[in-house]
Amino acid sequence: MHRPPIKHCKSCGTAVVYRLPDDGDTKHRAVCPTCQTVHYENPLNVVGTIPIWGDRVLLCKRNIEPRWGKWTLPAGFMELNETVSEGAARETLEEAGAQFEMGEFFSLVNIPRVGQVHLFYRAQLLSDQFDPGFETLEARLFSEDEIPWDELAFRTVSETLKRFFADRRQGNFSIHVFDIA
């Protein structure tokens, strides 16, 4: 799943051409033939949390595509003018309506095939009451043995949860960096 190519210059609106820029770059880029602006296509950051209440993790049932009706950690695309942790907190509030305290950074997942990087923080819930936003059908707590593994929306979520539960069993949380091909 690749994003559509850039078609027009964001500076002047002229149709771009894909070529090697004149600055010695080694990749074909969208270049404006009028104003010479080089447009770079960069990965999107998906930011979220692993919200914990006792021995349970908060998951959200998606009310949007892709993967409508599947379970996920509260997460979404990072916005401009926010830090990674601010974006993760915003998404947790928007999707779950949860009251929480941000914890430590937990995982970074590279997904080059779709041009995304997923980043998750641990978070301590301050209440087991939730007020999900429009993107969420249901927000619910699950113990490890209750996780609907076959109903998780994304492999990044299942792999992050597996590492989280493994770390918790060992009594020591690490930072996890991995790729999904």
- Could you read off the pLDDT of 35-67 as tens digits, one per residue? 999 999 999 999 999 999 999 999 999 999 999
Q: What is the mean pLDDT of residues 72-83?
A: 98
Q: Is residue 1 pLDDT above 60, yes or no?
A: no
Q: Is residue 104 pLDDT above 60, yes or no?
A: yes
What is the spatial distance between Cα 134 and Cα 48, in angstroms, rounded to a whole number? Answer: 17
pTM confidence score: 0.89
Q: What percent of the chain has pLDDT over 70?
A: 98
36 and 49 co-located in one domain: no
Q: What is the CATH number of the domain that holds 69?
A: 3.90.79.10
36 and 107 co-located in one domain: no
What is the spatial distance between Cα 132 and Cα 116, in angstroms, rounded to a whole number? Answer: 25
Q: What is the mean pLDDT of residues 143-168?
A: 98
20 and 51 co-located in one domain: no
Q: What is the mean pLDDT of residues 117-129?
A: 98
pLDDT value at residue 3: 61
Q: Is residue 135 pLDDT above 60, yes or no?
A: yes
What are 132's two structure tokens?
Answer: 């999900």
Q: What is the CATH number of the domain that holds 9?
A: 2.20.70.10
Q: Which domain, by its residues, includes 18? A: 1-41
78 and 53 co-located in one domain: yes
pLDDT value at residue 178: 98
What is the spatial distance between Cα 62 and Cα 120, in angstroms, rounded to a whole number? Answer: 18
Q: Is residue 2 pLDDT above 70, yes or no?
A: no
Show the 3-state SS of 25-67: CCCCEEECCCCCCEECCCCEEEEEEEEEECCEEEEEEECCCCC
57 and 34 co-located in one domain: no
Q: What is the mean pLDDT of residues 112-129?
A: 97
Task: For the chain, give the number of residues.
Answer: 181
19 and 86 co-located in one domain: no
140 and 66 co-located in one domain: yes
141 and 71 co-located in one domain: yes
Q: Is residue 118 pLDDT above 60, yes or no?
A: yes
